[in-house]
Amino acid sequence: MADENEKRVLSRGNYLQLVAKDRWEWVERVNCTGVVMIVAKTPENKVVLVEQFRIPVGLSVVEFPAGLVNDREGDDEDLETAARRELLEETGFEAGALERVGEGPPSAGMSPELITIFLAKDLRKVSAGGGDETESITVHEVPSGEIDAWLEAKQSAGSLIDPKVFAGLYFLNRP
């Protein structure tokens, strides 16, 4: 007989599972070992953001480049390797250096997932970006001094702004 204080899987899909313990229910990813987000500014002082349609919210969302770690069959990558891969796939930029600047839960009441944030330095554009074969990503390079007005305009036009963008801007603008 199972201990009622143990975590129970209520339902499992290809990418997520719904679990419960005591009176709590939450979701867990079943296909990766972590999540990374990359905050970056070009040598021309432009903030690098991505935008893509997100089915759960039914709208385009402006975000920093981000993605899953070890989410493909046979992957064995560390967080920094995944961050470099995601930055290149989504934006077409390579980073000369990555600095790990933070980690935390994006939705602690719904998931135990942690996002590790990297600051990308010494960017070099090497391809168009736009994501892998499963994604349709628009890359935006926004002049740093115009970022607030640009985000407000995107929101007014009907896009959502991922709140993690504001956390990322903190890391880009601190001394």
Q: Which residues of 94-103 are buried (b: 16+ CB within 10 A; e: fewer)?
A: ebeebeebee
In the block, tokens 């997520």 appear at: 16
Question: Of the residues 133, 135, 141, 152, which is catalytic?
Answer: 133
Alpha carbon of 64 to those of 16, 100, 116, 139, 140: distances in Å? 22, 15, 12, 10, 10
The answer to whether residue 86 is catalytic is: no
> Mind telling me the catalytic residues?
133
